[in-house]
Structure 1
Amino acid sequence: MHRLRLATDADVRFLADVTLAATGAQGRLPADFDEAAWRDRFAEWTRESIEDPGTELYVIEVDDVGAGRLRVSRTAEFVEVNGIQLHPEVQNRGIGTAIFTVLQSEAARSGVPLKVNVERDNPDARRLYDRLGFVKIGEEGGEDVLEWSKAAEQNRLWNADVAERYDTPGVGMFAEDVLGPTVQRLAQLADGGRALEFAIGTGRVAVPLSEYGVPVSGIEFSDAMLEQLRTKADADTIPVVTGDMATARIPGEFTLVYLVYNTIANLLTQEEQVACFRNAARHLSPGGRFVIELWVPELRRLPPGVPATVGTADPGYILLDTYDVLKQHVVSHHFHFGEGTDAQLFRTPHRYIWPAELDLMAQLAGFTLESRHADWTTTEFTADSPSHVSVYRLPS
């Protein structure tokens, strides 16, 4: 476990010690390094950082003991990490990843990118940033300037290759016995009004629902998925706003907002998921409904000490889910097999939500639970149901 606390003048020596320890362990101290002179400059710069109103300098504590240093600056245009060092004894324990994940969530909520500079002779840090989805946008001296944004991350996950393979007409989630009941139930819940789909994707549900006679609009983050939708329906038939379903607005008022096939779990923090509920409420007329299709977390299948479950094991496809039960995070690893040894891997991160937690999110946004069934055909929801369709309603 780790926590951050704001640094004070009393921490200057410790911050110098941990910076030297981390840099020295990486073998990046020059042969002619003058430690005394460096400490004097570092102490002066550290005190300036503590007093700078646009900067926050933190001590990273692990088990209540100082273990690292973090400096962050914030402007209206970006959040920037100006430096992070961890003592070698606490490295490779996921602390850096956890800190950057929190900062990514902060940047996403603010609608700005997260930036960081990395020395070109620091391959360990570069591997971390690559794994977290940072991309190089420039150079400053001996450093590369990296940037992460939620929009870029979503377009990286849901890129052109994924969008082209997403549709499987007639089978899987595109099968008529799946789509038919979905569209019929949503049309009933729209009650003669307009419907808005969050994360509309390639239009798997929106297109047949529009053809059923329900006016449909959408919000979508992925440019590639939207391009696939546009091969089926133009912007006059299904208007779409590009953006985050937790914050983006589309003109008009709706009687129905819906999120299908576990998509709310693509929001990786509880705060973003609550914001999604509130965004749905903003779009709805009085008495309007918000419908969510979501799987029930499968933790009963996860024995103690085992971090993963196999969801599907077909001849051409294996689904492996790895869990972080502290964060309620799961990463789905989709393995697709071709001829011989050919294989492709696609990963999707999620934050799983228990039904009771989902109901509390709804209450925070002003909704009440109207109904919950195991599927779109209104099968009874039980303790053994693997998923649910929950209908929330605003006061009329």
Structure 2
Amino acid sequence: MPGRVTQAGAHARLCADAPAAADLALRPEQPDDLAWLQELYASTRSDELAPVPWPEAAKRAFLLQQFALQRTHYRQQFADADFLIVQASGLSIGRLYLHRATAHHTLVDISLLPDWRGKGIGSQLIAHAQACARDAGCALSLHVLHANPAARRLYARHGFVAGDSTQTHLQMHWHPRDHLLS
């Protein structure tokens, strides 16, 4: 049976169902999620920092600093975005940050805890973001690290095409008119 993404909370804006591997719920971030979000962020950087010969305390301080900088940047650049916690069976397993401007949506961030990666949940969240853009009749874009070829392949499988590139990131675009059902 196809999964679906549901949203709850004051800032929830429902989109069309998105088929996928599991039933998920989205809820707005709350102030008491901060420590958990720091751990989630750290889990997304663990492979990158594993070979770095720093003491664990230095790695932790670096990750906290990087998390704070990213959080500030996202809230400045996408102040009115949906900052959502992804839940499965009431358990927080990730985050989805989606900015819905009138003419264009931006998939700001998808992060999942390690045990929840590779299970189709990222695909479900991408499909949900695409459904939101399709419902609004607008394009969806994102930025992906050049150092993350697996994510680039995932987005390409979902119909995203490469756009502009910087030294560190590739911008990718998706538009519903390019994916109309026959």
TM-score range, shorter chain: 0.7 to 0.9
> AA paired with 1:100?
I
Structure 2 counterpart of 1:110 = 136
The structural deviation recorded for 1:139 is 1.0
> AA paired with 1:23?
R
The structural deviation recorded for 1:35 is 2.7
Q: Does 1:43 align with 2:65?
A: no
Change (3 A) 1:133 1:48: closer
The structural deviation recorded for 1:88 is 1.3
The structural deviation recorded for 1:57 is 1.1
Structure 2 counterpart of 1:74 = 100
The structural deviation recorded for 1:34 is 3.7
2:48 to 28, 33, 36: 28
Structure 2 counterpart of 1:386 = none
Of Structure 1 and Structure 2, the greater helix share is in 2
Change (3 A) 1:141 1:55: farther
SS at match of 2:48: coil
The structural deviation recorded for 1:21 is 1.2
1:296-330 residue CA offsets vs partner (Å, 9 max, x unmatched) = xxxxxxxxxxxxxxxxxxxxxxxxxxxxxxxxxxx
1:18 to 37, 40, 62: 40
Structure 2 counterpart of 1:134 = 160
Whether contact under 8 Å (1:60, 1:68) holds in the other structure is yes
2:127 to 91, 101, 115: 101
**Structure 1 CA distance, aligned partners of 2:33 and 2:74?**
12
Change (3 A) 1:50 1:145: closer
**Structure 1 CA distance, aligned partners of 2:143 and 2:170?**
6
The structural deviation recorded for 1:23 is 3.0
The structural deviation recorded for 1:37 is 3.4
Structure showing greater radius of gyration is: 1
1:252-296 residue CA offsets vs partner (Å, 9 max, x unmatched) = xxxxxxxxxxxxxx38xxxxxxxxxxxxxxxxxxxxxxxxxxxxx
TM-score, length of structure 2 as denominator length: 0.74
The structural deviation recorded for 1:152 is 2.1
> AA paired with 1:98?
Q
1:137-190 residue CA offsets vs partner (Å, 9 max, x unmatched) = 111331110010111234xxxxxxxxxxxxxxxxxxxxxxxxxxxxxxxxxxxx
For residues 199-278 of structure 1, the aligned pairs below 5 Å read 266=181
Structure 2 counterpart of 1:363 = none
Whether contact under 8 Å (1:72, 1:81) holds in the other structure is yes
TM-score, length of structure 1 as denominator length: 0.36
Q: Which runs of 4+ in 1 moved over 4 A?
A: 47-53
The structural deviation recorded for 1:76 is 2.1
Q: Does 1:144 align with 2:170?
A: yes
The structural deviation recorded for 1:38 is 3.1
**Structure 2 CA distance, aligned partners of 1:41 and 1:82?**
16
**Structure 2 CA distance, aligned partners of 1:117 and 1:89?**
24
Aligned-residue CA RMSD (Å): 2.4
Give the gaps of 5 or more residues in structure 1. 155-265, 268-396
Structure 1 counterpart of 2:18 = none
1:85-139 residue CA offsets vs partner (Å, 9 max, x unmatched) = 1111011221111111111111112121111111111122112111101000111
SS at match of 2:25: strand
Change (3 A) 1:37 1:22: closer
Identity of aligned residues (%): 23
SS at match of 1:28: helix
**Structure 2 CA distance, aligned partners of 1:89 and 1:59?**
16
> AA paired with 2:63?
W
**Structure 2 CA distance, aligned partners of 1:104 and 1:19?**
24
Whether contact under 8 Å (2:98, 2:129) holds in the other structure is no
**Structure 1 CA distance, aligned partners of 2:108 and 2:136?**
18
Q: Does 1:60 align with 2:86?
A: yes
**With CA pairs under 8 Å and 6+ residues apart, which has the higher RCO, 1 or 2?**
2
**Structure 1 CA distance, aligned partners of 2:154 and 2:35?**
27
